[in-house]
Chain A
């Protein structure tokens, strides 16, 4: 039933062949097609600009006050591309291989190879836009190695790579808005997908300033709405990041794939108190120079600078001599957790040190400042400690979600006309994403994949003329209004924030870095209880026809409360450990994730069966024709 539509033929030729066989829409006809793009992160901004340049009519939406503020702006470390500028053995095939392996063999070969192929075009495109990537003295592009890679293939713009890439895509988007080819709707939230005759034909939005609920019709809808890490309440994601767009689409028939695949990033600033609203990432590029350690013995009371080498345990270097501090994120996170569980954590027990003293000795403070200056500043601002003098304290935090709406090779969901790009889809990272590859995927999807696959869809499907007067639009709009009115009418005693925190705690305790059957069953019991109470007792002040941030948040938390249950359900049914999904029942003697390729080398994609009902689990078998499935080893 789930057809990935990966083209046949040799791996390296699939994409070219597919492009050649795709239907085209001739330039004069493109203006007859309209496209809705929800989201202006790397995926959405790149897609909007590119499709508009090609001649399609584009309407773009984001909930922030400007498209430039999408969450992609926060990415720090860099973007991968198989340029092999370093002459160190990189190639498209190696990037493909590393990504498949890093994802613990739970991604599609065809998609990943295409990603590696177009990665090289992305860098060229961004340079042409004026993205100020780091340069060497000779004027050529600089690279660094990044989490889990043994080649230097990561391009970067200081510690603000996401910002610079997004500003590049944003500037291309603004150019099109100026030319009148994109109609931009900022401070506008998508609250429903409209499906007509089984095909995605529009959305219902709420203007966050006036509260106006509006209908938008198009020939295709692209969701580029980012990840759902905030289901954990605390994460490195921006406050507004949410699951609403994809969850609403899921309720209208789109399958949700691998919801339990979450990435817990090893290097974040530890939690300080219960009133904290977010966790801050310290880019993993820091692991190139920072050495991670804890004291050898429990109950160590000396300041880190006073602890001699002989009393320190550089646990990653010790356990993984060949990758050392650069092991993939899931491995680094689990090991940090393990030493803290042993009681050797620092600063109250839930932190490990990341130490730059050796690097500063080796290359000088100036060079370290050049490489990570803004990250060190950020750390100092948050913690009031100087990381040039004393080691940073770090701990893992929820960071990225590999799961997302199920899409085929064309990035189309099982609902025709509904395409999903960037972090919002599930497609390329398997069970664990490698560092610097989300930016790559977002831009690949937006600049270089969707222009072809959307053209093929338009070229091969006949779109019936519909208007926003269609009953499906009326019903969807009524549903939005009903929900808003319901939220406002409860007038309960508990704040939206308190529900979000309660859900987040259940998710972290029971569906976090290590999961087991008992905990997951507990989550499956608790989440519906919290949800029930939410709908009885939430306090949403203000009105619906006004700027109302409480109402916005309430809608998002309500969706997280439905989504969280499916998340736990998926984690329970996946009786193996793979990548970021670690089931305590399934580990090797050395406490590494133990996959079960015989039974779980597949994608689990869920079909909505109604509110509170168990979703149907569909399976897409993963076919590996090129790589051999092995136990990942970073020793």
Chain B
């Protein structure tokens, strides 16, 4: 064996940090047509260094050993950027930590013996698929309604031919940082997609490249939001509070202005 590689890359024997026990109440639902319910599970020896999703992996290992079906949940990058993970944890979208996705949430945020309630996103525009997994295709449809600059490949000017003020570019980037996870919709009492849509509208409205289609974009995306079954915004601010990427409600104000001018 190439012993010099040592026992590393996660194949260490044991944990660092301390371990705790958790009581989990997890939403189980076979599919979109069956009614769901909560199941209770006890998990012990959970390292506080683990991420929340490592903990769910541990639960699923345990369930598999008991011959039960593991809990379905969405995830991919596990580093807070792909927007795949979701989960209402104790009633909070993406759990207790501010500006943190579920996959970046760690067990150290919970205490020994704590009960954790885990539910899927609930919104009309996000129908359930199974257990904690929902269908967020409506976000793609919303982007299809106009969340782009209509340029085809080729025939574009040199990158530096379009000067962009640093301030605009930075603000556009703040808005463009949205990961499309849907926490804003899940947290909103009206299941509104205003924060998501306004982030895209702001990103493009702040840049010279977005100007040509500016009016149509906002008009079309606002119409699509209604058609897709998202609710209205009544300024609760839950969306901003749960957003893992700190997308601000200023974007909603900007979108409303854009919409107003588009209608003139």
* Residues in A lying within 8 Å of B, measured CB to CB: 46, 49-50, 53, 64-69, 71, 73-74, 83, 85, 121, 123-130, 132-141, 157-158, 160, 163-164, 167, 170-172, 174-175, 177-178, 184, 186, 209, 232-234, 238-240, 271-281, 337, 340-341, 348, 350, 377-378, 381-382, 384, 395, 397-398, 447-448, 451, 495, 497-498, 501, 504-505, 508-510, 512-516, 518-519, 522, 539, 541-542, 546-547, 549-550, 584
Contacts and interface: CB of A to CB of B under 8 A. Distances in A.
A190 B15 CA distance: 37
A549 B83 contact: no
Interface in B149-186: 149-154, 156-160, 162-166, 169-170, 172-173, 176-177, 179-180
B159 A83 contact: yes
Given A130-B210, A140-B163, A398-B9, A171 B80 contact: no
A501 B104 CA distance: 22
B69 A274 contact: no
A451 B153 contact: yes
B153 A448 contact: yes
24 contacts: A65-B137, A74-B81, A83-B160, A128-B157, A141-B159, A157-B173, A171-B147, A174-B148, A177-B140, A238-B82, A271-B10, A272-B17, A275-B57, A275-B58, A340-B6, A377-B99, A378-B104, A504-B10, A514-B2, A518-B2, A541-B64, A541-B69, A550-B69, A584-B4
Interface residues of B, number: 94
Contacts of A240: 76
B142 to A, nearest CB: 9
A135 B159 CA distance: 11
Contact of A519 (B2, B78, B166): B2
A381 B104 contact: yes
B68 interface: yes
B228 interface: no
B10 to A, nearest CB: 4
Contacts of A451: 153
B67 A541 contact: yes
Nearest to A239: B76
Contacts of B165: 135, 139
Given A174-B144, A238-B82, A278-B79, A68 B180 contact: yes
Contacts of B12: 271, 273-274, 350
Given A71-B76, A130-B204, A381-B97, 20 more contacts: A64-B82, A129-B151, A130-B209, A175-B144, A175-B148, A178-B144, A234-B11, A238-B77, A238-B82, A239-B75, A273-B17, A277-B51, A279-B9, A280-B78, A340-B6, A395-B8, A497-B61, A514-B5, A519-B2, A546-B130
A277 B59 CA distance: 13
B13 to A, nearest CB: 7
Given A66-B136, A128-B149, A382 B106 contact: yes
B143 interface: yes
Contacts of A69: 76-77, 82-84, 180
Nearest to A241: B76
B15 A273 contact: yes
B16 A273 contact: yes
A512 B104 contact: no
B156 A127 contact: yes
A66 to B, nearest CB: 5
Contacts of B230: none
Contacts of B1: 509-510, 518-519, 522
Given A129-B148, A139-B165, A275-B47, A65 B84 contact: yes
Given A273-B49, A505-B11, A512-B9, A177 B144 contact: yes
Contacts of B64: 495, 539, 541, 550
Given A73-B81, A85-B160, A140-B160, A508 B11 contact: yes
A191 B263 CA distance: 49
B65 interface: yes
B106 A234 contact: no
B238 interface: no
Interface string B184-204: 000000000000000000011
B248 to A, nearest CB: 16
B5 A513 contact: yes
A98 B32 CA distance: 53
Given A238-B82, A273-B47, A278-B78, A233 B10 contact: yes
B16 A124 contact: no
B143 A125 contact: no
B80 A378 contact: yes
B56 to A, nearest CB: 10
A135 B47 contact: no
A378 B104 CA distance: 8
B78 to A, nearest CB: 5
A53 B159 contact: no
B2 A510 contact: yes
Given A71-B77, A136-B166, A274 B10 contact: yes
B137 A66 contact: yes
Contact of A137 (B4, B16, B166, B176): B166
Contacts of A382: 51, 104, 106
B20 interface: no
B100 interface: yes
A68 B83 CA distance: 9
